[in-house]
Structure 1
């Protein structure tokens, strides 16, 4: 299985996580976010990056290969709805951060499959670089990525 991460080209081969807080981790918790499709990764980058930097930046897509048999823990939409019907709203980050932090701390798997907050039927895949199985996840390719000008928000 392949997952995708769009980042500045200078970081494309970097297998380290920044520790910046996000939907599924609190500050100081190290997670690599990837998308289950290139299109989802593009949308994720669009909603989390200021518009002008998308067109001024030098981006690449890193394609990760998750080997067959690699254990993946999943948090489902149903799991999240038990906590809050509007789990995807930014105000509810503490809910998803607690779930992600618990996964990181539990060290059960190197990969966590989570629902996309953007597209209900899509999934993101989070990597725990501290897990022993993380070394089994390989970079399959790194390719230049350019955001289409039509994706700019209109004023």
Structure 2
């Protein structure tokens, strides 16, 4: 399985989950480390965009390609039908659920539905997992896009 992560160039090589641990996220509370990734580059871009406070946050970013061997690591897939209907609007609920999953050292990654694009998935990697060393952080490349899009979105 191939996953993608977009981040500021200066943080792209940090695979400790420190940012998520310090600030929390939709699927992890403050204090719980995780690395947010997406199944598609376009979804990773949109996820980065919704958290950008300025156009500058979308410049000087890099794309990290990540490989997970589904046969070698445990990936937990959340069942969308079992999630509370208002999960996308209830950060406390999704953070609580994510904290439970991240607390299991057997789970290297877990998939969750995207709040931005229904039907697509994000994956949160667990840097504290017993077999995290099996995650392959492949190539990093500078990420560029047609900045006409950003100019329209961030004006």
Q: Does 1:140 align with 2:104?
A: no
Structure 1 contact 54–147 (Cα < 8 Å) conserved: no
Structure 2 contact 3–65 (Cα < 8 Å) conserved: yes
1:55-106: CA deviation from partner (whole Å, max 9, x where unpaired)? 5x311000001013022101122121xx2x22112xx100100100001113
Across the aligned residues of Structure 1 and Structure 2, the Cα RMSD in angstroms comes to 1.4
Q: Offset at 1:38?
A: 0.5
TM-score between both structures, scaled by the size of structure 2: 0.89
> Match for residue 76 of structure 1?
79
> Match for residue 102 of structure 2?
104
> Match for residue 23 of structure 1?
26
Q: Structure 2: state its 5+ residue gaps.
A: none
**Structure 1 runs (4+) greater than 3 angstroms displaced:** none
Structure 2 contact 54–154 (Cα < 8 Å) conserved: no
Q: In the comparison of the two structures, how many residue pairs are matched?
A: 149
Give the whole-Å Cα distance in 2 for the aligned partners of 1:109 and 1:68. 12
